[in-house]
């Protein structure tokens, strides 16, 4: 039977790029999204870029009746579960919405998968589960600790999967811990559609570069890093998407539960990102130093060895491509998919 992959949250930034990658590697895809933090236009663009159509179900991953209908009708053989809220700051303001959406959503998905006998899952986790790393680069065995409700939903989600596998070893569970996804499809037609003021660094920088905002706020320049500003492992969204297609190989190797860091292994500071995007945009990008943002850590970057050795995957695109594609998307779509 041909593989049919259900992508929950498939209209989102990572979801839409992963749907495109799945289609381009000859997989059949079905998308479920409630567009609560994404735009339907992203899926229209994916259809145009690939020349392929695919079923899109508009609804909530907590709706078990809808999930059952999708699994039966589409003969789903595996699930990539992106659907969830992901803003660290917001999660402290509305924790119950984060626990409901992220954890009840996961539980209902797993319950339906169990009832229909679909055991193949890729779970979208985050480097945020490592908290403030004591040792760098980060391997998958590094200690886990979280300091915000969003991070707790990711860590609890992982624990739910570990408990499920301990109770029933027939599952095929892959946990992917993303570092900092940035950039866009090279066409400039698919990218991150931030709602309101971007909390993430790169979309904020590109909005300053195209005149939507006055200056970049550098949250702290007194961290124990080479230039005092925060260091992160930025990974091109296309590399991240390809990591999901590579992770699906684990479904073919018998049941198991595995965890992989999806990062490049290379950290860049805030000032290095501003410099990189300035060079790409061919203009100075103004910034001012502000005090640290509560909850931020000094540095975080991956040891990507395990994914390379076990999945045959490693990031291919460097800072220049990340900046070039991020800038092209922003320049061509000042208001994201709203245009």
Which residues are tagged catalytic?
Answer: 150
- Residue with Cβ nearer ligand WQD (27 or 236): 236
Per-residue contact string for residues 46-85; x = within reach of ligand WQD by CB under 6 A: ----------------------------------------
217 belongs to the binding site for ligand WQD (CB under 6 A): yes
- The dihedrals phi and psi of 299, each to the nearest 5 degrees, come to -145, 150
Question: CA-to-CA distance for 188 and 314, rounded, in angstroms?
Answer: 23
**Subset of residues 83 to 112 that bind ligand WQD, contact rule: CB under 6 A:** 86, 88
Helix-helix angle 237-247:13-24, to 10 degrees? 60
**Minimum distance, C-beta of residue 139 to ligand WQD, in the bound complex (Å):** 18
Size of the site for ligand WQD (CB under 6 A): 18
Of 278-317, which residues contact ligand WQD (CB under 6 A)?
A: 293, 296
Among positions 139, 187, 200, 266, the unique one binding ligand WQD when judged by CB under 6 A: 200
Smallest distance from ligand WQD to CB 85, Å: 10
d(CA 56, CA 290): 43
d(CA 307, CA 243): 8
Among 8, 34, 128, 153, the residue binding ligand WQD under the rule CB under 6 A is: 128
Collapse the DSSP code of 182 into the 3-class scheme (helix H, G, I; strand E, B; otherwise coil) and give the result: strand
- By CB under 6 A, is residue 248 in contact with ligand WQD? no
105-142 residues labelled b (16+ CB within 10 A) or e (exposed): bbebbbebbeeeebbbbbbbbbbbbbbebeebbbebeb
Query: In a 3-state reduction of DSSP, which class is residue 99?
Result: helix
- 157 lies in the site for ligand WQD, by CB under 6 A: no
Which residue is it, tokens 């490049």? 264
Residues that bind ligand WQD (CB under 6 A): 86, 88, 126, 128, 178, 180, 199-201, 204, 217-219, 230, 232, 270, 293, 296
């Amino acid at each position: 039977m041909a593989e049919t992959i259900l992508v929950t949250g498939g209209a989102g930034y990572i979801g839409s790029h992963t749907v495109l990658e799945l289609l381009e590697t000859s997989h059949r895809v079905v998308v479920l999204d409630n567009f609560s933090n994404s735009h339907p236009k992203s899926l229209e663009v994916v259809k145009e870029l690939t020349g392929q159509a695919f079923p899109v179900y508009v609804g909530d991953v907590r709706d078990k009746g809808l999930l059952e209908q999708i699994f039966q009708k589409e003969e789903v053989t595996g699930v990539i579960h992106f659907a969830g809220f992901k803003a660290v700051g917001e999660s402290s303001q509305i924790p119950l919405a984060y626990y409901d959406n992220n954890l009840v959503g996961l539980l209902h998905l797993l319950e339906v998968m169990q009832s229909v006998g679909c055991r193949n899952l890729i779970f979208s986790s985050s480097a945020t589960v490592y908290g403030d790393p004591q040792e760098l680069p980060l391997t998958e065995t590094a200690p886990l600790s979280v300091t915000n409700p969003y991070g707790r939903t990711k860590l609890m989600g992982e624990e739910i999967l570990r408990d499920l596998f301990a109770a029933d070893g027939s599952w095929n569970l892959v946990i992917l811990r993303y570092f900092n996804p940035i950039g866009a499809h090279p066409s400039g037609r698919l990218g991150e559609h931030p709602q309101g003021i971007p909390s993430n660094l790169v979309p904020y920088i590109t909005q300053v570069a195209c005149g939507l905002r006055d200056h970049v706020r550098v949250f702290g320049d007194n961290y124990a890093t080479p230039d005092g500003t925060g260091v992160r492992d930025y990974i091109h969204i296309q590399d991240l998407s390809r990591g999901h297609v590579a992770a699906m190989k684990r479904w073919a190797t018998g049941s198991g539960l595995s965890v992989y860091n999806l990062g490049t292994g290379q950290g860049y500071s805030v000032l290095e990102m501003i410099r990189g995007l300035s060079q790409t945009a061919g203009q100075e990008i103004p910034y001012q130093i502000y005090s640290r943002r509560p909850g931020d850590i000094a540095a975080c970057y991956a040891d990507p060895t395990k994914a390379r050795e076990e999945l045959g995957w490693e990031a291919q695109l460097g800072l220049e491509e990340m900046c070039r594609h991020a800038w092209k998307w922003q320049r061509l779509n000042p208001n994201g998919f709203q245009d």
